[in-house]
Amino acid sequence: MDNQTTADTADSIHETSQVSAAKGPAAENTALHTATASPVETFGKPVIYQVLPRLFGNTNATNKPWGTIEENGVGKFSDFTPEALQAVRELGANYIWYTGALHHAVVRDYTEFGIANDDPDVVKGRAGSPYAVKDYYSVNPDLAEDPAKRLQEFRELIARSHEAGLKVIIDIVPNHVARNYQSLDKPEGVRDFGADDDTSVAYARDNNFYYVPGEPFQVPVADDGYRPLNGEAHPLVDGEFTEVPAKWTGNGSRAPQPAQGDWYETVKINFGVRPDGSHDFAELPADFANKDYKAHAAFWADKDVPDSWKKFREITDYWLAFGVDGFRYDMSGMVPVAFWSYLNSSIKMQKPDALLLAEIYQPDLYRDYIHLGKMDYLYDKVGTYDAIRAVMEGKAGTDPLVDIQNSLEGIEDNMLRFMENHDEQRISSPEFAGNPQAGIPAMVVSATISGAPTLLYFGQELGEPGAGDAGFGKASRTTIFDYWSVPSIRRWNNEGQFNSENLSDAEQQLRDTYRRLLAFSTSSEALRGDYTDLHSYNRKHGQGYSDQQFAFARWAPQERLVVVANFADTAKSLTLKLPAELLQQWQLQDGRYPMSEKLQGAAGAELSVENGEGKVALELEPFESVILQLEN
């Protein structure tokens, strides 16, 4: 989702999910295309590099608030050269998520290409939110050297990505679309969202939208002095947008005039959930949680499903045929579980290795979305991310991480770990940690605690602080709404060389730390093996160990690891204890065992086992983490 749409994600979702999250839907298997197989094979633990093409290749340093493309510049698909993509691959990434690639509402005149102008009264920022999709069958014309050839340029980018060893992910935003949705590039036979709706009623199962019959839409009233385009004169900025009758707003607001804090630039999609929250589709039997995607696809094959389900299936069919390797689903918790069973089983039937990632913030729904909804991975935001962030901000210790990890038992490898993304504040921003070094123990824990993917947000590996008032987007988060450039990425770009020449020593060292960590995470068997908490034991028995450290063991038959992260901004001298149960599993007798350090290549340590208990003496620098491997 976009971070400016609501101040409190979790709160608004719990309200609207009552009109959304459910269990049931269907459709026939009329794929318009055949999925294109990726030439890239991926092994081990996935690493996803998230990047906004609009910002990545932009080397214009003007960065004027509310600046135009002409003033501030814009990145292009073509900026992802083989050199750039290889540099991303060398970071350890095996997937690249092109955020904002789809054609979303923008304030720029592309009428010569047949594209209708978007009204700034219902667009966030000048460059627009990537999560207000205007045409699901096309890509953002801003990102093309020749907007008339934008789809061909994106197809070439996918090919270059594959050649670099990167699989490609794009967003699908099923909960809402732009108010001015209109597809120019849809395949023959495909109908636009809302084209066949009965607008005289609030709800009908096969309507794509919900309506407020008899009421025209009204632009929200700004309560903080906000003016579209910062008050700049524009022929469409008049406080009006014609929509009769009004549609429900993307976050579920049923008012014909949504509030400024609502997702007013979007309209909510109807998935067959009646206004009272009941479901207008077939229920998925509970025992299907234990069945594979083939059984799910067979279940839906003879079911009649709401029209919106079919439309999104046509969309994913299209992009699978285009060469895309997976999807990140925006605000998936606001869409019924049964729909995900229907869509994801269809995708897996065509492309079994497609990566399906859900943004979701309701832990009580996690298992349903994995087992019934057939998601591969879910955001671990309200658990691990929030808990680690609290440690970094000095608001809590590491103790809660133990219970969070225990709560995810059985699905821990399905939970995407991250410390930055487009919705969250930059680690280096003063509003968060204010220090990129503080992010190292956080990322070490995130990247090694499970077999789930790790997400790296572009610029995070350089300590990007997300500073500057871009216009609609404010400091601490790199804007997703404005024409802008990212200073650390510009320095790394170095006129297309993508090297370290213009990076500071600190930036180079930080990037190398991320590279080592991610490369190790993708190759380590132990990180896809067993896990044992060492934190609780050391809180009782360790020496010098506190709630500013976090430790655990990971192992596989040929690899045994101990991970210790120091979140403190001071050096720590400690003796880590290993319980007898772990030593028995590792089949270690009394004696001394050398351990090598795998993260920074620092001096190793020694595991001493006496009377069935192990101990490791460690000297940790501020924010230092170690990955110790028991030598065979």
**pLDDT tens digits, 430-488:** 999 999 999 999 999 999 999 999 999 999 999 999 999 999 999 999 999 999 999 99
Q: Look at residue 589 in the predicted model and tell me its pLDDT.
A: 95
* Residue showing tokens 């009552």: 18
Q: Look at residue 302 in the predicted model and tell me its pLDDT.
A: 97
Q: Look at residue 43 in the predicted model and tell me its pLDDT.
A: 81
Percent of the chain with pLDDT over 90: 93
User: Taking a C-beta distance cutoff of 8 angstroms, is the pair 316, 172 a contact?
Assistant: yes
Q: Look at residue 25 in the predicted model and tell me its pLDDT.
A: 30
C-alpha distance from residue 322 to each of 17, 51, 188, 318, 510 (Å): 32, 20, 16, 6, 36
Question: What are the structure tokens assigned to 365, written together?
Answer: 């729904």
359 pLDDT higher than 90: yes
With cut-offs at 50, 70 and 90, classify the pLDDT of residue 223: confident
pTM: 0.95
Q: Look at residue 102 in the predicted model and tell me its pLDDT.
A: 98
Q: Is residue 43 exposed (0-12), middle (13-18) or buried (19+ Cβ within 10 Å)?
A: exposed
Least confident of 52-66, 140-154, 555-569, 593-607: 593-607
Q: Could you read off the pLDDT of 33-78 as tens digits, one per residue?
A: 689 999 999 888 999 999 999 999 999 999 999 999 999 999 999 9
Question: What are the structure tokens assigned to 103, written together?
Answer: 């054609």
CA 170 to chain centre: 10
With cut-offs at 50, 70 and 90, classify the pLDDT of residue 3: low
With cut-offs at 50, 70 and 90, classify the pLDDT of residue 21: very low
Mean of the pLDDT values across residues 121-129? 98
Q: State the Cα–Cα distance between residues 152 and 259, nearest whole angstrom.
A: 39
Which residue type sits at 502?
N
Q: State the Cα–Cα distance between residues 421 and 544, nearest whole angstrom.
A: 34
Mean of the pLDDT values across residues 187-214? 98
With cut-offs at 50, 70 and 90, classify the pLDDT of residue 601: confident
The beta-carbon contacts of 218-222 under 8 Å, at least 24 apart in sequence, are 218/246, 218/256, 218/257, 219/121, 219/122, 219/257, 219/264, 220/257, 220/258, 220/259, 220/260, 220/262, 220/264, 221/257, 221/260, 222/260
Q: Look at residue 604 in the predicted model and tell me its pLDDT.
A: 85
Q: Are strands 167-172 and 176-178 parallel, antiparallel or unpaired?
A: unpaired
C-alpha distance from residue 487 to each of 54, 418, 502 (Å): 14, 22, 11
Q: State the Cα–Cα distance between residues 247 and 504, nearest whole angstrom.
A: 51
Q: State the Cα–Cα distance between residues 377 and 358, nearest whole angstrom.
A: 6
Question: What are the structure tokens assigned to 609, written together?
Answer: 């086992």
With cut-offs at 50, 70 and 90, classify the pLDDT of residue 9: very low
Percent of the chain with pLDDT over 70: 95
Q: Could you read off the pLDDT of 486-536 as tens digits, one per residue?
A: 999 999 999 999 999 999 999 999 999 999 999 999 999 999 999 999 999
For residue 361, what are the contacts with CB-CB under 8 A and spacing of at least 6?
9, 10, 13, 333, 379, 381, 382
Q: Look at residue 33 in the predicted model and tell me its pLDDT.
A: 63
Q: 252: phi > 0 → left, psi -120 to 50 → alpha, else beta; which?
A: left
Q: Could you read off the pLDDT of 308-324 as tens digits, one per residue?
A: 999 999 999 999 999 99
For residue 393, what are the contacts with CB-CB under 8 A and spacing of at least 6?
432, 433
Q: Is residue 112 exposed (0-12), middle (13-18) or buried (19+ Cβ within 10 Å)?
A: exposed
pLDDT averaged over the chain?
94
Q: Torsion angle, CA of 14/18/24/27, rounded to 10 degrees?
A: -90
Least confident of 21-35, 39-53, 142-156, 318-332: 21-35
CA 486 to chain centre: 19
Fill in the DSSP letter of residue 554.
E
